[in-house]
Amino acid sequence: MHLADLCTALKLPAPAENPAISGVTHHAAWVEPGHAFVAIRGARTDGHAFAAQAAQRGAAVIFGEGWTRPLPCPLPYVQVPSARAALADLAAVLEGEPSRELKVVGVTGTDGKTTTSWMALHLLRSVGWPTGLLSTVGYQLPDAELRHFPAHFTTPEAPQVQATLRAIAAAGGKAAVLEASSHALALDRVRAVAWDVAIWTHLTREHLDFHGDMQSYFAEKRKLIERSPFAVLNADDPWTEQLKIGPHVTYSAEGRAADWQASGIQERPDGLAFTLTSPDGTFGAFLPMIGRFNVSNALAALAAAAHLGAPTRDLVAGLASFAGVPGRMELVSGPGLGPRVIVDFAHTPPSLEKALTTLRATTRGQLIVVIGSAGGPRDPGKRAPLGEVATRLADEAVFTEEDSRDTPLQDILIEMVRGAREAGRANYCIVPDRGRAISHAIRLAGPGDTVLLAGKGPEDTLERLHETLPWNEVALARAALDALD
């Protein structure tokens, strides 16, 4: 595609030069010959400062919001109202608008996005729809195993989102399921996706370091609902009333009036049984997962898949074969009659409370939790509440690291301890090294006890100060269990 064609598609004035454009990026080090380079002004740096580097690597054009000084390279320059929006729109056009060839489900909310996304993926595949996935855990093409982006793509940007959608379509995909985080929505990473249905899980305190306050956080997540022609909304979430702005259905696992309801929920050793009431009738349903809250995620996924045209009866049948999500209430087998060990991503006070409450109901003995809190610029206001929740709901809490980044770990641990002490709790210990914390917690546990390893889930790195370490929480848990023999 040539520059003039791109400018026409984006309704921008085209410069006199008309080079061929083969791709787009906002990172000068990722430029390949023929790429468009989008100069984004960030909080610390301005992408225009890297224009010369982009040109040296073969960039054919610069897009930006304006530059008062002469560019240090002889490339055509296209001024745009928003550089991030241009990055997303350019990526979509260059990939041929792949989302328009697919039925696209978007999932947003504070907790439950990943589980709901994987359920929707499984349900659509169970009724014969080749479906792909883009989630925080990784991405999948139709009928392919989970893959991870290269390490330098810590968060998929708009070009990676569009390239993944193109790969899903090229692999014969009929549908795609995407997690839409507040960052992805705020930074226009998913701006150019043509959604078909949006799922809203729920909203609780998270990422306020980035958004500032809850109303701003909500406003960014609401964008997914605003941009979708149809929404699946959680009737159990108080924010939902502000989301009824277009065609929608509601769901409830807590007895509220809704289009999709679960009742008679039974927490069994092998999973969750419940009665589903839907617009298509009433069905007996079974979900092979731990955690009563996962019924809500299942309702959302069922409603979205049904809206796309899948028969509800077939979707209910497919739900019974769902294999779960890596790092989401993932059971790690213990030796013989040893403790039950669960790996989960719960890293906010509400999600930790849900996880511990769920496990308490199915634990015969002691409940032990290993928990840390993120450092760096992440919301520090949740550290003390995490300490309070952990010590209130578990018999023993082991405070440790999560991803301390450039924040002194001691500062994080002090806040978690403060939360416990202000609640009058002393049932905790501090083991700063997470690997040792896991071993310590499993050694404390006996037969009939449950150990929850919370916060990391499926993540494959641990950020400590200025180093990033490879990480596998499940493997560490298994090694600690093996050491009990």
At position 228, the amino acid (one-letter code) is S
Q: Are 350 and 426 part of one and the same domain?
A: yes
User: Model confidence at 455, in pLDDT bands (50, 70, 90)?
Assistant: very high
CB 87 within 8 A of CB 272: no
Q: How confident is the model at residue 484 (pLDDT cuts 50, 70, 90)?
A: confident
CB 232 within 8 A of CB 216: no
How many Å apart are CA 17 and CA 248, to the nearest integer?
A: 47
Write down which residue in 94, 120, 138 finishes a domain: 94
Nearest to 166 by CA among 93, 87, 86: 93
Residue 324 in any domain: the answer is: no
Domain assignment of residue 417, yes or no: yes
Average pLDDT over residues 15-21: 95
Same domain for 240 and 117, yes or no, is yes
Q: Which amino acid is at 97?
A: E
Residue ranges for the known binding site for ATP are 109-115
Q: What is the pLDDT of residue 215?
A: 83
Rounded to whole angstroms, how far apart are CA atoms 282 and 295? 15
pLDDT at 21: 97
pLDDT at 113 over 70: yes
Q: Do both 407 and 419 map to the same domain?
A: yes
Q: What is the pLDDT of residues 296-331, one digit of tens each?
A: 999 999 999 999 999 999 999 999 999 888 888 888
Number of structural domains, the chain? 3
424: domain CATH number is 3.90.190.20
- Read off the CATH number of the domain in which 62 is found: 3.40.1390.10
Name the token pair of 306.
């049904």
Question: Does residue 57 form part of some domain?
Answer: yes
Sheet hosting strand 61-64, strand order edge to edge: 23-25, 35-39, 61-64, 77-79
Mean pLDDT over residues 103-119, rounded?
93
Domain check: are 134 and 283 in the same one? yes
Contact 93, 194 (CB under 8 A): no
DSSP string, 199-240: EE----S--HHHHSSHHHHHHHHHHHHHH-SSEEEETTSGGG
Q: Decide: helix, strand or coil at residue 197.
A: strand
What CA–CA distance (Å, rounded) separates 259 from 243? Answer: 16
Q: What's the confidence (pLDDT) of residue 148? A: 78
State whether 471 and 347 are in the same domain. yes
pLDDT (0 to 100) of residue 1: 93
Region 96-117: mean pLDDT is: 94
116 in the same domain as 45: no
User: Which residues make up each annotated binding site?
Assistant: 109-115, 154-155, 181, 189
Q: Are residues 434 and 306 in the same domain?
A: no
Q: Which of 273, 285, 274 is nearest to 312 (CA)?
A: 285
Higher pLDDT, 217 or 449: 449
Give the whole-angstrom CA distance, residue 167 versus residue 101: 11
Domain identity same for 108 and 245:
yes
pLDDT of residue 331: 82
The answer to whether residue 325 sits within a structural domain is no
Residues 10 and 144 in one domain: no
Going by pLDDT thresholds of 50, 70 and 90, the confidence category of residue 205 is low
Of residues 303 and 362, more confidently modeled: 303
Cα–Cα distance, 218 to 382 (Å, whole number)? 18
Q: Is residue 12 part of a domain?
A: yes
- Residue 430 covered by a domain: yes
| pLDDT per residue as tens digits for the range 62-94 | 999 987 777 777 899 999 999 999 999 999 999
pLDDT score recorded for residue 325: 85
Q: Is the dihedral of CA 107, 109, 110, 111 positive or negative?
A: negative
Higher pLDDT, 417 or 185: 417
- Which residue, among 152, 135, 133, has the nearest Cα to 143 in the 3D structure? 133
Containing domain of residue 477, as a range?
330-482
Q: What share of the chain is helix, strand, coil (3-state, %, to 5)?
A: 35, 25, 40
- Spatial CA neighbour of 324 closest among 114, 59, 175: 114
Domain boundary among 94, 121, 143: 94
Is the separation of the CB atoms in 109 and 181 below 8 Å?
no
18 and 139 in a common domain: no
Quick one: 249 and 173 in the same domain?
Answer: yes
How many angstroms separate the CA atoms of 58 and 42, rounded?
23
> What is residue 324's predicted lDDT score, i.e. its pLDDT?
85
pLDDT above 90: residue 335: no
pLDDT number for residue 129: 97
Domain termination site, one of 319, 349, 384: 319
Mean pLDDT computed over 204-218: 68
Task: Tell me whether residue 119 is in a domain.
Answer: yes
Across-strand partners of 118? none
Does some domain include residue 401? Answer: yes
Same domain, 391 and 464: yes
- Cα dihedral: 211, 182, 81, 26 (round 10): 110
Looking up residue 181, the CATH number of its domain turns out to be: 3.40.1190.10
| Of the candidate ranges 136-150, 396-410, 442-456, the one whose mean pLDDT is the lowest | 136-150
